[in-house]
Amino acid sequence: MPEPLLSLVGVGKRFNGAEVLHEVSFDVVSGEILALVGPSGCGKSTLLRIMAGLIPATSGQVLSEGRPLTGLNPATALVFQSFALLPWLKAAENVALSLEARGVPAVERLRKAERLLDVMGLAGHARAYPRELSGGMRQRVGIARALCQDPRVLLLDEPFSALDVLTAQTLRDQVLDLFHDPAVSTRTAVLVTHSVEEAVYMADRVVALRANPGRVAEVVPIDVPRPRRWNGPALVPFVDRLYALMT
C-alpha cells in the first residue's frame, strides 16, 4: 500500500474547553475520493480545516505525505460551500489570485486560470464578474481556483449544498470527471457532506462520524463500480448501513 497523502493520528480539537473532536484517525490514500459524513456537530468541517492547516489540532497529529503538518498545508486546496469569490474580480482573476502569492508571473497565472475555467466548462465566462454567474457557475469558478494550485488533495467542504437539486447533480458528475481529466493534476479528494446519499454516490470510502464530540464510527468502503446511479439499488445497502452507524 502506498504511503497515505494525509494521515490523521488521534486528532482532537477543543474550542473554549469544549471537546469538538475526539481521537480521530484515518488516512487519505492517493487516488481516492474520501467522504466525511455525519450529522451537524460531528466536526467534519473542522476536520477539513485541520487537514488544510487553517486551524491546529489540540491533540494528536496530522501527517502530510509522511511529515508532521505545521501551518498551512501546501498539498491541499479548499473549496467552500459559499464559493468565497471576490466580487470585484472577474472569474479568471479570482482563479489566478491563488497563484499570485506563489510568485507566478501574471501572464502565466491568467493562462493557467483560463485553462482551468475551460476544464470546468466556463472558458467563455473568464471575464464575467461573480454577480453575472449562477450559483453553479460560481462554484465551478471556486473549484477551478482550488485546482489552479495543483493540490495533491482537493478538500471539498459541502460544495453542493448551496445549489439546487438539478445544478448539484450535474456538478457532482463533473467533479467526478475531473479526476480523470488529463488537464487536471489532482487525483485525490476529501469531501465533507451531510448527505449520506451524496457520500455514497461520490466516494470510494466513507468515514462515518458521530457527534458530540465528533469521532469516527467506522470507515466504510463503497465497492460499487462507476458510473453509479444516484440512490440506485447497488448503493441503497450502503446508505442504510451508514444511517445505522450514525444514528
Partner 1 sequence: MRSPLLPHAPLGRLFGLIEAMAETPGPDDLYRLAARLHLTLDELHPLVEAARLLGWARVERGDYDLTREGHRVAGADVKERKALFRERIRGLPLIATILGGLATGDSVPRETVLEGLHSHVPPVEAERQIDTAVNWGRFADLFDYDADDACFRPARQTGRR
CB of 58 to partner 1, least distance (A): 40
**Grid coordinates given for 132:** 453575472
Q: How many CB atoms lie within 10 A of CB 198?
A: 21
**Grid coordinates given for 239:** 446508505
Residues numbered 151 to 190 that lie near partner 1 (CB under 8 A) are 163-171, 173-174, 177, 183
Measured CA angle at 55 (ends 4, 203), to 5 deg: 40
Query: Pairing mode, if any, of strands 76-79 and 67-68?
Result: unpaired
Between 123 and 224, whose beta carbon lies closer to partner 1?
123
Q: Per rule CB under 8 A, is residue 132 in the interface with partner 1?
A: yes
User: Three-class SS of residue 45?
Assistant: helix
Q: Per rule CB under 8 A, is residue 88 in the interface with partner 1?
A: no
Between 119 and 220, whose beta carbon lies closer to partner 1?
119
Between 125 and 145, whose beta carbon lies closer to partner 1?
125
Between 72 and 86, whose beta carbon lies closer to partner 1?
86
Between 137 and 242, whose beta carbon lies closer to partner 1?
137
Q: What is the DSSP letter of 151?
A: -
User: Three-class SS of residue 123?
Assistant: helix
> Which residues are CB-contacts of 45 (< 8 A; sequence separation ≥ 6)?
157, 158, 192
Count, residues near partner 1 per rule CB under 8 A: 31
* Bridge partner list, 68: 63
CB of 96 to partner 1, least distance (A): 13
Q: What is the DSSP letter of 216?
A: E
Helix ranges, 34-74 (H): 44-52
Report d(CA 45, CA 34) in Å as an integer.
14
Q: Per rule CB under 8 A, is residue 126 in the interface with partner 1?
A: yes
Stretch of 43-51, 52-60, 117-125, 149-157 lying at the interface with partner 1 (CB under 8 A)? 117-125
- Pick one of 125, 145, 152, 210: the residue that binds partner 1 (CB under 8 A): 125
- Pick one of 128, 176, 224, 246: the residue that binds partner 1 (CB under 8 A): 128
Residues numbered 46 to 85 that lie near partner 1 (CB under 8 A) are none
Site for partner 1, rule CB under 8 A: 114-115, 118, 120-129, 132, 134-137, 163-171, 173-174, 177, 183
